[in-house]
A and B are shown apart, each in its own frame.
Chain A
Amino acid sequence: MATLIEAEAVSGGADITPRPPNRRNVRETLVRYRWLLFLMLPGIIYFLLFRFWPMYGAQIAFRDYIPFLGIEGSQWVGWEHFETFFTNPDFPRLLRNTLILAALSLFIAFPLTIVMALLLNELRLNILKRTVQTLVYVPHFLSWTVVVSLTGLLFAVGNGPLWTLLNDVLGTDTNFLADPAWFRPLIVLQDVWKNTGWGTIIFLAALAGVDQEQYEAAIIDGAGRWQRVWHITLPSIRSTIIVLLILQTGQILNTGFEQIYLMSNALNRTVADVFDTYVYFVGIQQGSYSYATAVGLAKAIVGVILIFGTNWLAKRFNQQGIF
């Protein structure tokens, strides 16, 4: 998916510059493109209504929003909500939980995806390769509700298969679903189970494009299996890895609301609360719209900074970025 932006940026650059606008030309253009503009209208309205109007509405982060008074009518309070949030005793805990989950995803789930793509790429039996691919893509299409329900059944106290197995192996009697110490491992496990297979698609596509003659030449030069992977395969997916890494960095503060929300319960709140669920609890459930908007906005802005930051870093190190 990531290379799209790259592709877009590249193809965008090749555009013909529109003619300088003067009144007659504007009219002519409108007439000439009337059907195309007409087709696009619903889409434009959608983006204005559901993507850009909320951006205008996000100013309530700087106001004390009261629905009755409307956005502009509500009192301007400046940075007050942001200050409340950053000095809130919950803030360090939310930040910690969010960052730990992001780091686990970055350092466990992401490398596993690459490893799995490499292993699949080394499979010589095509039919086996295709079968394995078919199987490992399936979990991606299951909803988080289903994945969390499956987890609930597999780890059910007393009769769940994984509850039985893990407790036998560890010699314990743990209720994994309620134990805060097991919250993060379970989140990572679900994440890996659901998304690793799917994540390999983009790498396998990049690998399919590698010139086979390079491998043949390397074999003749006496390169072993490992040397071929290290000197040909990995460099050929380097740009894909970097693009995905940049995108993932931008997502660091987005923990995936559904998964965390569905997995959190009264017993694991200390480790389960993250920014996304916090916004839901204080905003939707408690109705502190302005405050929750401020939290969401702070998060979104950090995300943008991170994505541009990594992109800049990638370019510094002579790699292709996404913009």
Chain B
Amino acid sequence: MARVKYRFNTPAGKAFDVVNVVVLVGVGAIAILPFLYVLAGSFATEYELTTRPFFLWPNEFTTDAYASILGSTVFVRAFITTVAVTGVGTAIQLALTALMAYPLSKIDLPGRRTIMSLVVFTMVFSAGLIPTFLIVKELGLLDTYWALILPAAINPFSLIIIKNFFQELPKELEESAKIDGANELRILRSVVMPLSKPVLATFALFYAVGIWNDYMSPLIYLNDTSKWTLQMFLRQVTAASSLTAEDLGNELPPPAQGIKFAVVMVATIPVLLAYPFLQKHFAKGMLIGSVKG
């Protein structure tokens, strides 16, 4: 067949191929250039940042900006807080989602259709920001880290994809376990979970990235600035025209420009570290759920 294709490869077709490659390589570059610029900028001196409009390699290399944020008690607190909330939150959200998805994957479960319809309903209609805020307030979760974890604990999309994945697992394994006298808990732990590791890992990462990147929840639910997360800190640093040493809980005033570059990097790098693992699985994870139904 390759020869057939070749025969009809007109000059116009070849020209298109070349243009297409150029365009897409350009698009790929645009996707990461801003990031590379900020990476280079975070290691550059204040002088270079104010005089050179664009560079991907600093003339003079400095780690002042990073030293400044690492010496900032405000930053360190926000960073540790965010890591902890992300870790605990991911575990809780994934557990709740998977535990609900598993029973729903049983076709004969009584009430299954009703529950699924209600779940889909919440995807189409939500009561809105204020009623949810008032519930969180009512439950006494305002100004606690639970407010960053619980209100979004189960993502209906993720729930359905995981449910569909469980549904596709070979039934024979479960049945033989059942004959051996295992109950549902046992089957879930020793048969279903080991088979579902890649999918669960993918959604764990999605949840983790979601909590890490969340700006709205801390904005709405946390009044106490000492509880702020990294995204709130990042906003404070990059939106400020000038920062004092006190803002950061630092001894020395920070480099005015460099610190913005460095904080953006610090907020981004953990997500980028998770990305290769995410990428390995997300396409597969998404498709298993959607195509096979």
Contact = CB atoms under 8 A, between A and B. Distances in A.
A205 B283 contact: yes
Contacts of B184: 35-36, 39
B57 to A, nearest CB: 14
A120 B24 contact: yes
Given A43-B100, A141-B271, A279-B130, A135 B41 contact: no
B153 A46 contact: yes
Interface residues of A, number: 105
Nearest to B232: A145
B38 to A, nearest CB: 6
A23 interface: no
A237 B158 CA distance: 23
Contacts of A270: none
Interface in B57-97: 95-97
Contact of A50 (B50, B106, B110, B153): B153
A257 B130 CA distance: 14
Contact of B31 (A119, A123, A139, A301): A139
B150 A116 contact: no
A12 B293 CA distance: 9
Interface in A11-64: 11-12, 15-16, 18, 29, 33, 35-37, 39-40, 42-44, 46-47, 49-55, 57-58, 60
A261 to B, nearest CB: 8
B28 A135 contact: yes
Interface in A233-283: 250, 257-258, 261-262, 276, 279-280, 283
Contact of A132 (B1, B25, B35, B216): B25
A8 to B, nearest CB: 6
B293 A16 contact: no
Given A12-B116, A216-B1, A33 B110 contact: yes
B183 to A, nearest CB: 6
Interface in B25-61: 25, 27-32, 34-35, 37-38, 41, 49-54
Contacts of A29: 110
A40 B111 CA distance: 12
A146 interface: yes
Interface SS of chain B: helix
B264 interface: yes
Nearest to B160: A4
A12 B118 CA distance: 13
A57 B53 contact: no
A54 B131 contact: yes
B132 A283 contact: no
Given A119-B23, A143-B267, A205-B287, A135 B53 contact: no
Contacts of B107: 15-16
B291 interface: yes
Interface SS of chain A: helix
B124 interface: yes
A154 B55 CA distance: 12
A175 interface: no
A47 B139 contact: no
B179 interface: no
Interface in A262-315: 262, 276, 279-280, 283-284, 289, 292-293, 296-297, 299-301, 303-304, 307
Interface of B: 1, 4-5, 8, 10, 12-13, 16-17, 20-21, 23-25, 27-32, 34-35, 37-38, 41, 49-54, 95-97, 99-100, 102-104, 106-113, 115-120, 122-135, 137, 139, 150-154, 157, 159-161, 164, 167, 183-185, 188, 209, 212-216, 219-220, 231, 234-235, 238-239, 257, 260-261, 263-264, 267-268, 271-272, 274-275, 278-279, 282-283, 286-287, 289-293
Interface of A: 1-8, 10-12, 15-16, 18, 29, 33, 35-37, 39-40, 42-44, 46-47, 49-55, 57-58, 60, 67, 116, 119-120, 122-125, 128, 131-132, 134-139, 141-146, 148-150, 152-154, 158-161, 163-165, 193, 197, 201-202, 205, 209, 216, 219-220, 222, 224-225, 250, 257-258, 261-262, 276, 279-280, 283-284, 289, 292-293, 296-297, 299-301, 303-304, 307
26 contacts: A4-B290, A5-B120, A7-B289, A33-B109, A35-B184, A39-B99, A51-B122, A58-B131, A67-B137, A120-B24, A125-B21, A132-B27, A138-B31, A141-B213, A146-B213, A152-B238, A153-B41, A158-B50, A159-B52, A193-B30, A216-B4, A261-B216, A284-B129, A284-B220, A289-B134, A300-B125
